[in-house]
Structure 1
Amino acid sequence: MTDVKTEFVEGFGGAKLAVHSLGDAGGRPLLLLHGLFSSAEVNWIKFGSARILSDAGFEVFMPDLRAHAQSDGPHDPAAYPADVLVQDLQAVVTALSLRDYDLGGFSLGSRTAVRGVLAGLAPRKLVLGGMGLTGLSGWARRSAHFVDAIDRFGTIERGDKAFVAQAFMKTMKIDRVAARLLLGSVDDTSADAITQVTMPTLCVCGAEDHDNGSAQELAAALPHGSYAETPGNHMSSVTFKDMGRAIAEFLA
């Protein structure tokens, strides 16, 4: 079994995007997108999900999103047009020459995956982790929470609803200027638009994860949606191997 490899591809505006991969070349391609303030390493690699999936026969590709980890985070507002993450996603799919592949995400990665499908990407199967129906349609409210955490960074005390976001930004050494610009580029996805996501889709979510609404409701709203419950809340669910196992079972 190969170790994690990293290459860089060009995203929107020439931004360098780090793409990490695990698994033997020739395995079924699986593209996984991480969540806000996180990274491919934290969401997929560190706690074993990527290894579970590569052992199941997948070649797993995991980009660091713009303004995260090893990818560029420019400070020019022009580098963050609406749906820039979708444009980056399309660039990654093209650079990797992916045609017959599966696509998944966690939290912001799930939003990006859905919007990528609505923009024309056509994976065989789709995985939406840590995401509920209101997390897609009510993104503006969720985004405002993170903008507030950025704007008050360093002054937020324990017990404040933004404290966890501040702590995670500190741990991940987030570039707050780039992150704030990125947040402004993400838009709501209406419940009506969800019906256009027609491939088999797994909504996998921690039993205590209610940050983005009900994953069961999202699964019910999708034409071919299914739901899998795993342990944990929004922060901890990616640390359990159950998530990787549920994804592998669905994609098999």
Structure 2
Amino acid sequence: MKNFTHDGLQLAYLDEGPRDGDPVLLIHGFASNKTINWVETNWVQTLTEAGYRVVALDNRGHGQSDKLYESERYTPTLMADDALAFLRHLDIGKAHVMGYSMGARIASFLARDHGEVVATLVLGGLGMALVEGSGDWAPVADALLAEDPEALADKSGMEFRTFADRTGSDRRALAACIASNRVLMPAEDLKAIRQPTLIAVGTKDEVAGSPHDLAALMPQAEAFDIEKRSHLIATGDKTFKAKVLDFLQDHPL
């Protein structure tokens, strides 16, 4: 397992594809990890076969990276700093950056605060929820900590509890993460993200918010509808992959 140290944490990562290819940094979503989000969905294969160098980390609290149980250590700013440190560890000065769901939120904060390292931005599974939020996530944290999953009544809580169990996640770390990670980005701040941006959301996604409304707030953004896909299913959609490949080809480093 490859790993590097940042903020006192050991963070696991992968680095695949040709070293002379344009680098693409992939940032996974909540309760997922680099393998579930990017390898099993064939994103790594798709991008490396297209000639890109693909790098992806397990976010703090996830996968094979160190776990934390203090919610204040999971803000998007801190997790974006992990991504920045990751690029520096690999001596990558600028990369295409793609995140899904929570990973898209982290990618947005990285682009806002450290735009010099972001060539283009792909936000998957996140639209206006970045600015407006998407309801109360406390039931998800409660579901992650519940002793008896059979007693859960909240639909979203049940879905994320099932997903966390399937991925073998540390549920206490995830509960700490969800408590502080969903920081909103002021609409005014989106003007500072001037990189070409693709915002892709499933048409059956009930948590991401409108990709079109978010794109309208950004200087160089376009929206893409992932037809007939829900939040947890859209990640590996083939039309999404084709759109991203076209987008990256149109905006080389």
> Structure 1-normalised TM-score?
0.88
Whole-Å separation in 2 of the counterparts to 1:136 and 1:45? 25
* Aligned amino acid, residue 45 of structure 1: V
CA RMSD for the aligned pairs?
2.1
- Structure 2 residue aligned with 1:57: 51
Superposed displacement of residue 183, structure 1: 2.5
**54-63 vs 181-190, which moves further:** 181-190
* Match of residue 237 from structure 2: 240
Q: Match for residue 109 of structure 1?
A: 103
Q: Distance between the aligned counterparts of 1:245 and 1:81, measured in 2?
A: 32
Q: Is it true that 1:131 corresponds to 2:126 in the alignment?
A: yes
Report the residue type matching 1:63 in the other structure: L
Q: Which residue of 2 aligns with 1:180?
A: 175
Task: Provide the secondary structure at the position in 2 that maps to 1:52.
Answer: helix
Q: 1:19 aligns with which of 7, 13, 16?
A: 13
Is 1:200 aligned with 2:199?
no
Partner of 1:3: none
- The alpha-carbon distance between structure 1 residues 77 and 201, as it changes in their structure 2 partners (threshold 3 A), is closer
Contact residue 205 and residue 215 of structure 1 kept, 8 A:
yes
Counterpart CA distance in 2 for 1:152 and 1:114 is 31
Paired residues of 1:105 and 1:127 also in contact (CA < 8 A)? yes
**Equivalent pairs, count:** 245
User: Hey, what's the Cα distance between the residues in 2 that align with 1:49 and 1:77?
Assistant: 30
Identity of aligned residues (%): 27
Shift in Å, 1:193: 1.3
Distance (Å, rounded) in 1 between the aligned partners of 2:83 and 2:148: 32
Output the CA distance in 1 between the equivalents of 2:33 and 2:147.
Answer: 20
From 88, 91, 103, the equivalent of 1:94 is 88
- Structure 1 gaps of 5+ residues are 1-5
Per the TM alignment, residue 128 of structure 1 is displaced from its structure 2 partner at its CA by 0.3
Unmatched runs of 5 consecutive residues or more in structure 2: none
Task: Tell me the distance in 2 between the aligned counterparts of 1:176 and 1:251.
Answer: 35
Per-residue Cα deviation, 1:113-159 (whole angstroms, up to 9, x for no partner): 111122223311100000111x1124484543432322435345476
Aligned to 1:222: 218
AA matched with 1:170? D
CA 1:153 to 1:199, structure 2 compared with 1: closer, same or farther past 3 Å? farther
Counterpart of 1:189, as a letter, is M
Q: Secondary structure at the match of 1:18?
A: strand
CA shift at 1:210, angstroms? 2.8
